Each structure stands twice: as structure tokens, then as C-alpha cells.
Structure 1
């Protein structure tokens, strides 16, 4: 029996090489070609006629999700999505399955010999099943299709403060969101270009609405607003529905937009809220998080990795705040659990 031919599409040369190595080591599988973007992939599909396509979610130009949609419309075939943000059960994974992917496979974070061998066996088996038609478009990926039915926002507003070192944590939270996600504001103390580079592909891959903070926008389930304009602060204005307001004011704690102002406005609004400090330098947000906790808001702080700045974390712990102390991998599930109306009495 001939090997299953796979076309590997990823904008990262290192990831293309890694997955070529993984797939070429899998029994019954061979890589027939690679592409770094949608344009190259389109040409390779016509030329090589692969049996299976592996596709990165985040690529420059046309995103992986957009190209997946095109492939399913113009020449349907088994597509396996590969990304650090397509873990089973995430909103991104569910969106990929809805568009027609047969499976979502996480990029390996470590490449020890044992992990490499395990990935070879697992991904190789998935590719063979996909080529044989055993994995159907939109099929379940280890439970990835089940999450939407188990979550309904209770209306609680989520406000996250993120430094440059916490951008990946913010991405992981948003990747877990589906179309019914809690109303969310993410305020960044980071270079605007770095934020945009990190979030660009997610604008096309998430099932929820993801946009830049604009004065007067409503805070409703299914909407996420990113605040990274260094000329204005963001605050919450109560009402039906609550709205986001952008205000001109001097920096607070050296930051604009300021997490302290955002958290403080949420506390004053009396609205149900959840606030969190992701990893970052400085102490902006620590005081505001304490005020939010005093008004019965649900609050957490990210426990920093060994290499990450500890300023915010140490300041929170020094203040003795009672809050959830979470590692990066635990944050998305905790937020969704705390804001889920399903099962609440």
C-alpha cells in the first residue's frame, strides 16, 4: 500500500522542519511538500495532490482558518490543524472543526526523544485515519466539539491586565473562548506593535468577536476588546448594556491605559466582575485588583514562570490579597468555570 502523502503548511521554517521529521518517521506516511503561506499551499495542492493537509492556524497574510475555509469550499480534503492554540476543547479548535477540519493537533512544546517518538506515533495514526476517511470533517477532537454546549456566560465582565511577558497567557485565554464567551477587556502594558503581531491571526480564528477598544462599545457576551492605545485609558460605564469608555488622562503608575483605573471603575460600577493580573513588569493593577476583591469581584494573579518578571505577583502576595494563584495553563479553565451560568443554582 502506498504511503499517505502529506502537505505541511506552516510559516515557521523550524516548525515545517519539525513536522516533516515527525511525519517522515511515521509508518505509512510521507511528506510530499511544504508551504510557508496560503499562496504557496494553493500551488502545491494543485501540483502535488496530497492525501492530507496539515495547516498552521496562524500565518501572515491569509490565516490558516481563512485558508481552511477556502479549501473546504474549493477542494474539500482531510485537513489537520496544527497550532499552540488549538488544544482540544478550545474555542479555536471548535471553530476549526466547524469549518471542516478533521482534527486539531497541538504543536509539541518539548522535543525530548520520548516525546518526539510519542508524537510520531500519535500524529502518524491521525494522518492515516484521516486519509482513510475514518475522521470526518467537523468530527470531534478529543472532546473539542462538546465545550460550547456546556458554557453560557453569566454576564460577569472579565478584565485582564497584561504586560509584555503575559501576552502568550492572554492568547491562551482567548483561544479557549467560543462564540458565547464572557464580555472581556484585555488591557496591555506592552508595545502596540507586539500586541498586534500576537493577536493578528486570532482576529480571524476565534469564534467570538475580537476587536480594538473603541469608545462606547457594549460589553456583551461574545465580545472581547483589546486596549493597547497608549494615549487613552479605558474604564467601564454601567448601564444596559455596560459600555467601555476611553478617557484622556495622565498615566497612572506610569501606565496608560492603566489596569488600576480599569479595575477601579469595575468595582465602582457594582457590576459582577472577574479581574486578573497576568505576568508583567511594574505594579499597575495591584491596587485596583484589591479594590475589586473588596467589592466581591472574583480575582486571580498569574504565577510567573521561572524566567518571567515577578513584580506584579510579588506585590499582590505582599498585600495579602485573597485570590486564586494560577499557573498559565490553569487560567483559561478557571475563568470559564467562574463565569459559567450552566449548572449555577
Structure 2
């Protein structure tokens, strides 16, 4: 395993020491430098050429967000943002993800080695995945709504699974969907403080109505439902006239909400009337369920790992034989529109 070379950037000496301590003990990770502000980080990047940078959102002088924007413009690299878990922190985190950060990792509430050690496995997995994933390069294409064209829905339902790197992916896909899009479920586990800012941001990206998934809701055309609560699985209980159910039960293969469970329920209910999409994410959740959906006649689309910020989930789905189509990120929105639109009769 090649070493993921990490630069830790935080204005707090204590935070730098604690993050460096847990990362340096991990197999496959090497902390090559530390910086307390943007000026020092700039010099370290030039001298050390790290594979990944962890960057504090709030720093004196140039803020973490402003420095992130500079890095993505001048020297693109995978960046994991470190953010406080507050409503203000959530808004800053969302902006960081739009600028190209791989993920926003919540800073511990207590600056103790015990607390950092508890969070270490997730941070280490994130850093490793970031080092192996796609690095945003060149001018970032703006998120622009597609020109509205007539759309005749063919009656199919869409389910999208997204994780780490998923905000950027969704903001590239949703603008392609029409106001009267097929009923669409987005499964993306999130911290509660992050949910409302994301719903508001996604609503700006599409003419369809974006809302939170709720138990018993009827799935309606022109609506996009975000299932983000880590306490509940989401399933589709019947088809047609479908409704969603939120189920409080144990994680499935370590995941809750489970993408595999959602896809598997669609395989039993909507079958060929289903379109399942696997986007960038850590882990393997979703691969088994997407395979079941494909076997039931549904259309299964997997993001090309070469275009994914984190390749683990798309690669797992491909390896499982779950993908009917492997598609570059910027082409998924148009394909979804095509697959959910009634074919035009020949003139």
C-alpha cells in the first residue's frame, strides 16, 4: 500500500498535534507537515507536494474557505475540511463541498486524545480514500440548470445513493432534471445540522420540489426526497401509488440508512420501473441491492470511478456486476432524463 502523504493545516497547535498523532499511527498514512495559516500552508504545499490536505474552515487571516478556493484553482488536490458541527459550520461545510473539498469532517467537541482516537477510524478511511480518488482539475464547471424542455414521464421511479463527494455530484445531476421529474429518492446519510442547508442548496439547483423524506409520504412526480437521517432506513413499500416508509432497525452491513436495502425493496416492488444510481461514496453499501435491482429488470447506473471523488462504492458496484451502465458524472443527469421519459412516437 502506498503512503497517503498528508499536510495538516489548523491554527490551533493542539488540534494540529492531535490530528497528526492519530493520522501518523495509521497504516498507509504519513503526516509530512503542519501549518498554522494559509501562508505557511502555501509554502508547505510547494515544498512537500502532499497527496491530501486537512484544512480548518476557520483560521485567522485568509479563511479556510478562501484558501480552499485558491488551492482548487492553482494547485488542485484532495482536501478534507475540518469543521465545527453547528448550523454556521454546516453552511461553511456546504460551501467547501461546492468548492471541491472531498468531505467535511466534524471537529471533536473535546480536544482530548481519547476523543480523537474514537474518531480516528473514520478520519483515516476518509484520508486514504481521498488520496486514491479523483482530484478536481481545471476550471470548475458552474452548476447551471438545463433549459426546460417538454418532458413526458414514463412512470419510472429513481433512487440515488450518494456519500462522500456526493454534494458536488448531486449539484451536477439535479439541474438536468425537469420540474416534473420522476419521483426521486436521494439516500445520503448526514449530520442533522447539515440537512436543512443541503435541502435549501439542492432546491436552488433544480426546478423540482426538494423535501425531506418522511414516513408514509406518497411519492409524487416533480418531487425529490432527501433521506439523510442515520436513525432510519428508507424503503418503498408498494408500486404503483408508491409511498416511502422509514424503518428504525439495525444497520445493514454497517450502514443505516442502507442503499442496498432501498434498492432491494425497489427490486421487489417497482422492478423494471426502477432506475438505481450509485454515486461517489466510501465503502460498499449499495452494491448488493443494486445487483438485485438489475436482476429484477431495473436500470442500474454507476458513476464512472474515474470521475468520482471517492471510488470505493462505484468500484464495488461494478465488481459485483451491478452496473448496467458505467457513466461519467457529467453525463448521468441527461441519461436519467432519457431513461425516465416516454419514447416519442415516430412521425
Offset at 1:323? 1.3
Does structure 1 conserve the Cα–Cα contact (< 8 Å) formed by 2:192 and 2:229?
A: yes
The residue aligned with 1:156 is 156
CA-to-partner distance for each residue in 1:30-89, whole Å, 9 max, x for gaps? xxxxxxxxxxxxxxxxxxxxxxxxxxxxxx8xxxxxxxxxxxxxxxxxxxxxx99xxxxx
Q: Where in structure 2 are the equivalents of 1:173-192 lying within 5 Å?
A: 173-192=173-192
CA-to-partner distance for each residue in 1:85-140, whole Å, 9 max, x for gaps? xxxxxxxxxxxxxxxxxxxxxxxx8459xx9xxxxxxxxxxxxxxxxxxxxxxxxx
Residue 338 (1) aligns with residue 343 (2): no
Over 3 Å counting, the alpha-carbon distance change for 1:206 and 1:318 in structure 2 is closer
The residue aligned with 1:300 is 301
CA distance in 2, matches of 1:197, 1:322: 32
Offset at 1:186? 0.5
Offset at 1:156? 0.4
Does structure 2 conserve the Cα–Cα contact (< 8 Å) formed by 1:236 and 1:269?
A: yes
The residue aligned with 1:206 is 206
Residue 231 (1) aligns with residue 231 (2): yes
Offset at 1:327? 1.2
Q: Where in structure 2 are the equivalents of 1:202-281 lying within 5 Å?
A: 202-204=202-204, 206-271=206-271, 272-281=273-282
CA distance in 1, matches of 2:296, 2:303: 21
Over 3 Å counting, the alpha-carbon distance change for 1:250 and 1:202 in structure 2 is same
Over 3 Å counting, the alpha-carbon distance change for 1:217 and 1:306 in structure 2 is closer
Normalised by the size of structure 1, how large is the TM-score? 0.56
CA distance in 2, matches of 1:243, 1:255: 22
Does structure 1 conserve the Cα–Cα contact (< 8 Å) formed by 2:165 and 2:308?
A: no
The residue aligned with 2:84 is none
TM-align CA RMSD: 3.6
Offset at 1:294? 0.3
Offset at 1:334? 0.7
Question: Which blocks of at least 5 consecutive residues in structure 1 are unaligned?
Answer: 1-11, 19-59, 61-82, 85-108, 116-140
Q: Where in structure 2 are the equivalents of 1:78-117 lying within 5 Å?
A: 110-111=138-139
Does structure 2 conserve the Cα–Cα contact (< 8 Å) formed by 1:302 and 1:313?
A: yes
Does structure 2 conserve the Cα–Cα contact (< 8 Å) formed by 1:153 and 1:339?
A: yes
Over 3 Å counting, the alpha-carbon distance change for 1:199 and 1:320 in structure 2 is same
Question: Which blocks of at least 5 consecutive residues in structure 2 are unaligned?
Answer: 1-63, 71-90, 92-97, 100-136
Does structure 2 conserve the Cα–Cα contact (< 8 Å) formed by 1:189 and 1:255?
A: no
Q: Count matched residues.
A: 221
The residue aligned with 1:72 is none
Does structure 1 conserve the Cα–Cα contact (< 8 Å) formed by 2:163 and 2:280?
A: yes
Does structure 1 conserve the Cα–Cα contact (< 8 Å) formed by 2:291 and 2:321?
A: no
Max radius of gyration: which structure?
A: 1
Normalised by the size of structure 2, how large is the TM-score? 0.56
CA distance in 2, matches of 1:315, 1:211: 29
Over 3 Å counting, the alpha-carbon distance change for 1:315 and 1:343 in structure 2 is same
Offset at 1:306? 6.6
Offset at 1:317? 2.4
The residue aligned with 1:53 is none
Offset at 1:178? 2.1
The residue aligned with 2:310 is 309
SS of 1:153's partner is: coil
The residue aligned with 2:6 is none
Over 3 Å counting, the alpha-carbon distance change for 1:110 and 1:322 in structure 2 is closer
SS of 1:300's partner is: strand
Q: Where in structure 2 are the equivalents of 1:18-29 lying within 5 Å?
A: none
SS of 1:225's partner is: strand
Does structure 2 conserve the Cα–Cα contact (< 8 Å) formed by 1:152 and 1:181?
A: no
CA distance in 2, matches of 1:344, 1:199: 37
